[in-house]
Copies of this chain bind each other. A is one copy, B any other.
């Protein structure tokens, strides 16, 4: 250690001084501190952890496909606040929904020995994590469940939420309802779409898939999908959008229409109340807290079977669903 030399002490004494361990003469400590400052010295955390055996990291990794989405950022924020109490730090990485990226970033986090990993994955399978998981590093999956791997998860009641949305529209007399969905391979989307459809079918609407458009993954695509639905004859009198981005796209189209169809979106919107959009809402920050809870219990030694927490959703009726089927 360069610092030790400059201060004229042994390497170990320098270490003691810098780490504030006892048994260092006042004057020595000062000399070391000064040398360190002059050199711009910073302890090498990697070497320390390497020496200490690897489970001293205070880093929790979180991996997500689209952490820019307010849903995930609120989730992360709830999680972060919770783990911070325990002296743990959250680092997040964004995979941009790119599978290769997700692989590489998972490796990077794991190789750097994060203490635990929170995964909001878009991958179709997580078997590549199985070995790691058996080795003891805790994973908690959020929003989307682990596949090919038994691990803790915090999920939404997607089926329940979609069911409420469908029931609400049926009650208002709608029978021709369009659905605009996200990537069809995503489990969240599948659950929302199929549950919504099942409720329609149970009400005697057998051909609900006629008005289903999926894979509208961004706002622009969603806009086009909604336009497509509206141009049909007869056009749907109501539309269900399966997430916040898609709802945004739908709003961009609908707000220009003199007599727009009814609208229900999954996920609350920042301006949902102002815009009067009926939504199926839930509490992302609470999701973060639940995630933290599972994580911390694992860190505290719980080694039982994987636990899944399913969080409730709630329908908030607002103006956008009050438009009766006749108006369109």
Contact = CB atoms under 8 A, between A and B. Distances in A.
A271 to B, nearest CB: 5
**How many copies of the chain does the oligomer comprise?**
2
Contacts of A96: 77, 80-81, 84
A59 interface: yes
Chain A, interface SS category:
helix
Contacts of A90: 93-94
Interface string A124-141: 000000111011000000
Contacts of A76: 67-68, 94
A310 interface: no
Given A37-B131, A70-B70, A84-B101, A46 B112 contact: yes
A247 B76 CA distance: 23
A58 B273 contact: no
B248 A270 contact: yes
Interface string A85-129: 000011111101000010011011011110000000000000000
A45 interface: yes
A255 B270 contact: no
A41 to B, nearest CB: 8
Nearest to A129: B40
Contacts of A107: 42
A274 interface: yes
A43 interface: yes
A327 interface: no
Nearest to A134: B40
Contacts of A184: none
Given A248-B270, A275-B274, A275-B275, A43 B93 contact: no
Interface in A49-99: 49-50, 54, 58-59, 67-68, 70, 73-74, 76-77, 80-81, 84, 89-94, 96
Interface in A1-44: 37, 39-44
A252 interface: yes
Contacts of A252: 273-274
Nearest to A38: B131
A47 B251 CA distance: 52
Interface of A: 37, 39-50, 54, 58-59, 67-68, 70, 73-74, 76-77, 80-81, 84, 89-94, 96, 101, 104-105, 107-108, 110-113, 130-132, 134-135, 248, 251-252, 255, 269-271, 273-275
Q: Enumerate the 5 nearest inter-chain pairs by beta-carbon distance, A residue then B residue, closest first.
A: A40-B131, A45-B111, A68-B73, A46-B46, A40-B135
Given A42-B111, A112-B112, 7 more contacts: A40-B135, A46-B47, A58-B108, A68-B70, A89-B104, A89-B108, A248-B271
